[in-house]
């Protein structure tokens, strides 16, 4: 493939989304927020009254979904569900449906379709391992659980959403454990990924590191 892809994988609230947007903007590339696909699938399955542990039923729902992605907004059946997708409850639904191989399979091609010129920055858990194994730059972004919980806490508080730091940290750790130990595409760095711990970095500093690596790889 000669359409360039940069993958940015890592655990919940490691700052992948922000870094992905910044790198994409600097390069003029498109963005794939693959978590939003799992989130909207979880939400749609929940709304349809499906058992989220029934992988075959959830996978069968995927091709029937009317989805549109517009500048960071996600439309499900013409309804803008972007705000609902960001809620913690939806994140848990995403993590539940994402544990099933048939669901991951059903979402595979949809993710490949985001690869368009002039290039793509793809954010998720398995972008570098399963979806774009031929990506020319793979980043595995981490940050300590304490840092991640604090960032999520500040995000919620600034939006006026009540939050408890300890609860957030426990939720993060539970979701990470599930993402890392599942048998289908577990969260793990690709062998050829560069690990970046951004606990002590500004977004700007992380972006400059990634752009520097990109210069040397392409
Ligand atoms: O990245 P985000 O927090 O939006 O992802 C929500 C959940 O979706 C993750 O906890 C994970 O279980 C699942 N996911 C996944 N594979 C991806 C992206 C997200 O399994 N590529």
pLDDT in tens, 96-149: 999 999 999 999 999 999 999 999 999 999 999 999 999 999 999 999 999 999
Average pLDDT estimate for 200-210: 95
CATH number, domain at 85? 3.40.50.300
Give the pLDDT of residue 139: 98
Give the pLDDT of residue 1: 57
Average pLDDT estimate for 210-216: 96
| Ligand 1 atom at minimum distance from 176 CA | 10
Is residue 205 one of the residues assigned to a domain?
yes
Check whether 16 is labelled as a binding-site residue. yes
Is residue 126 one of the residues assigned to a domain?
yes
Check residue 153 and give left, alpha or beta (phi > 0: left; psi -120 to 50: alpha).
alpha
From CA 77, how far away is CA 79, in angstroms rounded?
Answer: 5
Give the pLDDT of residue 87: 85
Asked if pLDDT for residue 76 goes beyond 90, the answer is yes
Asked if pLDDT for residue 202 goes beyond 80, the answer is yes
E-assigned strand segments in the chain? 5-9, 30-33, 67-70, 73-76, 79-80, 120-124, 137-142, 194-197
Beta bridge mates, 68: 75
Q: Considering the entire predicted model, what is its pTM?
A: 0.93
Check whether 217 is labelled as a binding-site residue. no
Is residue 55 one of the residues assigned to a domain?
yes
pLDDT digits (tens, 9 = 90+) for 55-74: 999 999 999 999 999 888 99
Count H helices and E strands in the chain, helices first: 9, 8
Is residue 217 one of the residues assigned to a domain?
no
Give the pLDDT of residue 7: 98
| Bridging pattern class, strands 137-142 and 5-9 | parallel
Is residue 218 one of the residues assigned to a domain?
no
Work out how many domains the chain is built from and give that number.
Answer: 1
Asked if pLDDT for residue 218 goes beyond 80, the answer is no
Residue ID of nearest Cα to ligand 1 atom 13: 95
State the distance from the centre of ligand 1 to the C-alpha of 162, rounded, in angstroms: 23
Q: Which domain holds residue 169?
A: 5-211
State the distance from the centre of ligand 1 to the C-alpha of 124, rounded, in angstroms: 6
Nearest to 13 by CA among 151, 126, 174: 151
Asked if pLDDT for residue 150 goes beyond 60, the answer is yes
Is residue 102 one of the residues assigned to a domain?
yes
From CA 135, how far away is CA 217, in angstroms rounded?
Answer: 10
Is residue 51 one of the residues assigned to a domain?
yes
Lowest-confidence segment of 14-23, 84-93, 120-129 by average pLDDT: 84-93
Q: In the structure, which protein residues have their CB atom closer than 6 angstroms to any atom of ligand 1? A: 12, 34-35, 38-39, 91, 94-95, 98, 124-126, 175, 179
Predicted confidence band at 156 (pLDDT cuts at 50, 70, 90)?
confident
Check whether 12 is labelled as a binding-site residue. yes
Average pLDDT estimate for 14-29: 96
């Amino acid at each position: 493939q000669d359409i360039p892809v940069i993958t940015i994988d890592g655990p919940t609230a490691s700052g992948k989304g922000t870094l992905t947007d910044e790198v994409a903007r600097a390069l003029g590339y498109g963005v794939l927020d693959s978590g939003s696909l799992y989130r909207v699938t979880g939400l749609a399955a929940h709304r349809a009254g499906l058992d989220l542990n029934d992988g075959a039923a959830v996978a069968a729902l995927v091709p029937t979904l009317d989805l549109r992605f517009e500048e960071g907004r996600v439309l499900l059946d013409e309804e803008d569900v972007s705000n609902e997708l960001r809620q913690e409850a939806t994140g848990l639904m995403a993590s539940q449906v994402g544990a099933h191989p048939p669901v991951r399979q059903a979402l595979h091609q949809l993710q490949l379709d985001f690869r368009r010129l002039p290039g793509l920055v793809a954010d998720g858990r398995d972008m570098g391992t399963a979806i774009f194994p031929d990506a020319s730059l793979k980043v595995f972004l981490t940050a300590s659980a304490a840092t991640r919980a604090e960032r999520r806490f500040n995000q919620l508080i600034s939006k006026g959403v009540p939050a408890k730091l300890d609860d957030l940290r426990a939720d993060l750790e539970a979701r990470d454990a599930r993402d890392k130990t599942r048998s289908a595409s577990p969260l793990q760095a690709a062998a050829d990924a560069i690990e970046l711990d951004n606990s002590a970095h500004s977004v700007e500093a992380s972006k400059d590191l990634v752009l520097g690596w990109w210069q040397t790889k392409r």
